[in-house]
Amino acid sequence: MTIKVIAFDADDTLWVNEPYFREIEIKFCQLLEDYLPQHTVAQELFKTEIDNLPLYGYGVKGFMLSMVETALRVSEKTLNVEVIEKAIHYGKELLEKPIELLEGVEEVLQALQKHYRLVVATKGDLLDQQRKLRKSGLGHYFHHIEIMSDKKEIDYEKLIKRLDIQPDEFMMIGNSLKSDVLPVLAIGGHGVHVPYHITWAHEHIDHHIEHQNFRQVKTLSEILPFVLA
């Protein structure tokens, strides 16, 4: 392998994220259960989020606006304004969550930092991701932080160009096959999938990947033997 840069996804790869969203989503659905069953509210919220992705991008602020929009639609604008107030409050709760590092993260970064340029490549709100990185205490391990509006092939191509390397010198590690692995393999890079127990429905794919530049590991630490070999 000729890897020069190893990039890490952040949410649910370096630290806990999706369970916090799920917790808020449940509270939001409970808030609207006078209008619709909770699972139907959840479906409506998901639909709103997906419709809004091209406008708002990924992250908490877009999620908050989608909660407000869903509440208005589900209640046919008959809701108590306190519901809106609560949705905003839930979003702010998300922005203030503590950072809980996933198992093995610090050891892996420590072991790799002398051998590779390490990068964070994440979607989400700029300010929120900067806050999480600062709170995580991991900032000093990274040569570069890339907060991306999306993780499509073109976004990775731009990143690789900016890093001044060839695609086959780039390895991306993350919990989403759809965002962290498939586009990177497609442009000639290396992709490592570290599954997390909860994945947002939008990131689901249902096919099996076979590719010479692809690896799947159970925990982050499992990458060490083959990247340090």
List the one residue out of 225, 217, 222, 213 whose CA is nearest residue 184. 213
Note the helical H segments in the chain: 18-31, 38-56, 60-74, 81-95, 105-112, 126-136, 153-162, 182-186, 224-227
For Mg ion, give the closer residue by CB, 70 or 175.
Answer: 175
Least separation, in Å, of the C-beta of 72 and Mg ion? Answer: 29
180 is written with which tokens?
């962290």
For Mg ion, give the closer residue by CB, 86 or 178.
Answer: 178
For Mg ion, give the closer residue by CB, 45 or 102.
Answer: 102
Give the interface with Mg ion as residue ranges (CB under 5 A). 9, 11-12, 175
For Mg ion, give the closer residue by CB, 71 or 138.
Answer: 138
221 is written with which tokens?
């630490």
Describe the crossing of helices 38-56 and 60-74 by its angle, rounded to 10 degrees: 130
Least separation, in Å, of the C-beta of 97 and Mg ion? Answer: 15
Least separation, in Å, of the C-beta of 225 and Mg ion? Answer: 23
Cα 14 off chain centre by: 10
